[in-house]
Amino acid sequence: QEHKSLLSQRDDQLHTLQSRLASTEKRIRERDLQNSEFKEELSFSRHNITDLKNQLYQLQHDVEEAEYDKGDEMDQLEDALDGAEKQIDDLKNDNENLQNKL
């Protein structure tokens, strides 16, 4: 009788330990799955960050290029304006000379 009671206790302990082991293994699998999902998410986020940095550098380059082109255009417009003002002055002088001759 005593042996049966002791065996029954040991059997209960064994079932308890097996249940705890199964529960612990399940938690480990869930954590492994969460870690895998986190690693995927982290990798995706890093890829997105890299893409966004590249886009930012491209936009900065485009802005710098546009500013440079704008400066060139302004220089050309100023040169054209100077040329037009000189032509106007030349025409005024020619006009004055013609009027003085008349």
What pLDDT was estimated at residue 100? Answer: 85
Per-residue pLDDT of the chain in tens (102 residues, 90 and over written 9): 788 899 999 999 999 999 999 999 999 999 999 999 999 999 999 999 999 999 999 999 999 999 988 888 888 999 999 999 999 999 999 999 888 887
Q: How far apart are CA 72 and CA 67, in angstroms?
A: 9
Q: How far apart are CA 26 and CA 16, in angstroms?
A: 15
Q: How far apart are CA 69 and CA 60, in angstroms?
A: 14
What pLDDT was estimated at residue 101? Answer: 84
In the chain, where the domains are located: 1-102
Q: How far apart are CA 68 and CA 65, in angstroms?
A: 5
Q: How far apart are CA 55 and CA 63, in angstroms?
A: 12
What pLDDT was estimated at residue 80? Answer: 94
Output the pTM of the full model: 0.54
